Amino acid sequence: MGIRRRSEAIQIREKRFGYFPQRFRWHGRDYTVSRVERCWTIKSRRWGGRVERLCFRVHCGESVYNVFQDLIGNTWHIQRA
């Protein structure tokens, strides 16, 4: 049984190569991505709907986050890794 983590909306301020998150705003603060550790896609039908996401595990200073783009709604979200 998997654990569903809560995600929060973020605003992407800048992308690297037009694809990778480079800078984002969360809770009124800007974060700069120093490294993208991993990227992957999720496509499934769950929770009564369709899920399509571009996912990134990113490093911002000492912190690591999972950032994803909801491709259906074209929104960006964050989860603490």
Is the pLDDT at 5 greater than 50? The verdict is yes
Please give the average per-residue pLDDT across 52-66, as a whole number.
95
Backbone angles phi, psi at 32, to 5 degrees: -110, 130
Q: Examine the pLDDT at 69 and tell me if it is beyond 80.
A: yes
Cα separation, 60 vs 74, whole angstroms: 23
Could you tell me the residue ranges of all domains in the chain? Answer: 8-80
Closest CA to 58 of 79, 31, 38, 30: 38
